[in-house]
């Protein structure tokens, strides 16, 4: 029925695509570079949205919606920004059958259009902080695309805030990084490193970019989310001024931050295996599936009756689906739900009914064990919690096992080339060393991590004095 999934160890990249297509998370569309997010994939995105949205609102942010189109002149106002984004934009030149007087860029990000409005709305310190988030689609033209990771159109949230002081803006930038970290670690069960991007990797127009980076199943890095302290760069260009409490006029201090449907790619690459997707319980819209099994027609009514009762009962605590489709065999269903990554499978047949028990099959470890009906509700919750923890711990161990502290450039080159992983090395801070390392190894400085022993050292490339270690890795 389904095609076979390429083995993860044989070809990680083909395995990734196979899992996404066959678990029906997404599909290629007839529009070059754009994908279709299918219901299974969109359900994961909705789960992500609802959790993040709650976290944003609990910290005082409100949602709004700004235009899809950005006039060419707006994008050109901030020099670094236009240089970074204009080459990868889709450009509307006709509207309503007529050539436009001014080209419209499909938003690659919304700083310019949003801050033009902020200039209109913000007058006084009373209007600050302004804490706005937007859930939207954005377009960045891509030649080589990859489902969820790099597509011409993608979905994301972009937060854009304005503050009265530098300190408040910096605090906001870091608060968001904490939210992203909590989301990755507690909900996605994906451990992340937090830190600062280098000058050459920072957001076009930002003072400073913070990020979270995660290790994928092939030991490559994925930038998981970014939070930018924009300083007054944009407020000066878009004239976003306010009257301070003391009656003076100042430009506001700004931040912007975002995560995208890339998150789904990370989920696949961190937890998936040769049998397909493996969803952490907190990311699954159905956390368990009950599969009723019978051989003889006369066994069917009692099995279905018990199955329905157990599901009704379980659904008071967790989200459980009953798969009672009759035109598929139990074996077909096992395969299907493993592929789609449902955390827990609960089998129920006539033998189980005799023993007043069910068979649990964990998606993460593939362990199977009997659970009595008495304990069903409690055990289901307990096992789901264990799965959530186990996935995180497994991913953390994998990252730790594949992170290497190295001080010799040739050793780094060799190991980066052969086995891959994250390399913690000293770097002097010079963009020239950074560029050369990238050219010679295809690995990039992912971040300057927050957590490190602040020992002085020598740059792995040029031997000059270094203030900190950085994480270098090949990345998506």
Residue 273: beta bridge partners? 276
- Give the shortest CB-156-to-its own copies separation in angstroms: 12
- Give the shortest CB-94-to-its own copies separation in angstroms: 4
- Give the shortest CB-97-to-its own copies separation in angstroms: 5
Our CB check for its own copies shows the closer of 65 and 378 to be 65
Our CB check for its own copies shows the closer of 37 and 306 to be 37
Burial of 13 (0-12, 13-18, 19+ CB in 10 A): exposed
Residue 11: count other Cβ atoms within 10 Å of its Cβ. 12
Our CB check for its own copies shows the closer of 89 and 283 to be 89
291, 370, 281, 361: which is closest to 332 by C-alpha? 291
Report CA Rg, the chain: 25
Our CB check for its own copies shows the closer of 328 and 369 to be 328
- Give the shortest CB-78-to-its own copies separation in angstroms: 15
Structure tokens at 180: 């992203």
Q: What is the chain's length?
A: 476
What's the CA angle centered on 194, arms 193 and 198, to 5 degrees? 110
Could you give phi then psi for residue 102, rounded to 5 degrees?
Answer: -125, 130
Q: Which residues bind its own copies (CB under 8 A)?
A: 27, 29-31, 34-39, 41-43, 45-46, 62-71, 74, 87-97, 103-104, 106, 113, 116-117, 120-121, 126, 132, 136-137, 139, 141-143, 152-153, 155, 327
- Give the shortest CB-65-to-its own copies separation in angstroms: 4
Structure tokens at 19: 């899992």
Our CB check for its own copies shows the closer of 116 and 277 to be 116
Our CB check for its own copies shows the closer of 26 and 189 to be 26
- Give the shortest CB-116-to-its own copies separation in angstroms: 5
* CA separation for the pair 271, 20 (Å, rounded): 13
Cβ neighbours for 351, distance < 8 A, ≥ 6 positions apart: none
- Give the shortest CB-9-to-its own copies separation in angstroms: 30
Our CB check for its own copies shows the closer of 62 and 372 to be 62
Q: What SS3 string covers 320-380? A: EEECCCCCCCHHHHHHHHHHCCCCEEEEECHHHHHCCEEEEEECCCCCEEEEEHHHHHHHH
């Amino acid at each position: 029925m389904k095609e076979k999934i390429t083995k993860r160890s044989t070809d990680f990249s083909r395995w990734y695509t196979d899992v996404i297509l066959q678990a029906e998370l997404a599909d290629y569309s007839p529009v070059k570079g754009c994908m279709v997010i299918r219901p299974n994939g969109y359900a994961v995105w909705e789960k992500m949205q609802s959790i993040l949205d709650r976290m944003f609102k609990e910290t005082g942010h409100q949602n709004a919606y700004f235009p899809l189109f950005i006039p060419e002149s707006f994008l050109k106002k901030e020099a670094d920004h236009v240089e970074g984004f204009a080459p990868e934009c889709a450009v509307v030149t006709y509207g309503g059958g007529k050539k436009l007087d001014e080209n419209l860029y499909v938003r690659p990000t919304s700083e310019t259009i949003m801050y033009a409005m902020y200039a209109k709305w913000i007058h006084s310190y009373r209007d600050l902080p302004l804490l706005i988030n937007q859930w939207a689609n954005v377009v960045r033209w891509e030649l080589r695309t990859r489902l969820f990771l790099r597509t011409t159109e993608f979905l994301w949230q972009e937060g854009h805030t304005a503050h009265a002081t530098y300190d408040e803006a910096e605090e906001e930038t870091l608060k968001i990084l904490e939210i992203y970290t909590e989301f990755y670690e507690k909900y996605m069960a994906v451990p992340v490193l937090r830190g600062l991007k280098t000058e050459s990797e920072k957001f076009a127009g930002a003072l400073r970019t913070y990020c979270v980076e995660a290790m994928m199943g092939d030991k490559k890095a994925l930038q998981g989310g970014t939070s930018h302290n924009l300083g007054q760069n944009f407020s000066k260009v878009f004239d976003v001024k306010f009257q301070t409490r003391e009656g003076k006029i100042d430009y506001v201090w700004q931040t912007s931050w975002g995560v995208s449907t890339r998150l789904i790619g990370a989920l696949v690459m961190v937890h998936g295996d040769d049998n397909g997707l493996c969803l952490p319980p907190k990311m699954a819209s159905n956390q368990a599936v009950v599969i009723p099994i019978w051989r003889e027609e006369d066994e069917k009514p009692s099995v279905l009756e018990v199955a329905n009762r157990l599901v009704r009962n379980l659904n008071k605590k967790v989200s459980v689906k009953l798969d009672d489709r009759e035109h598929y065999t139990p074996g077909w269903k096992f395969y299907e739900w493993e592929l789609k990554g449902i955390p827990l499978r609960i089998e129920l047949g006539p033998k189980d009914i005799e023993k007043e028990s069910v068979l649990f099959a964990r998606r993460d470890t593939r362990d199977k064990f009997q659970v009595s009906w008495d304990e069903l509700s409690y055990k289901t919750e307990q096992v789901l919690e264990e799965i959530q923890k186990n996935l995180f711990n497994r991913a953390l161990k994998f990252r730790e096992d594949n992170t290497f502290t190295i001080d010799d450039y040739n050793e780094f080159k060799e190991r980066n080339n052969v086995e891959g992983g994250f390399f913690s090395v000293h770097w002097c801070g010079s963009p020239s060393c950074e560029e050369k390392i990238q050219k010679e190894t295809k690995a990039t400085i992912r971040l300057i991590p927050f957590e490190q022993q602040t020992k002085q050292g020598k740059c792995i490339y040029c031997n000059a004095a270094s203030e900190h270690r950085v994480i270098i890795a090949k990345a998506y």
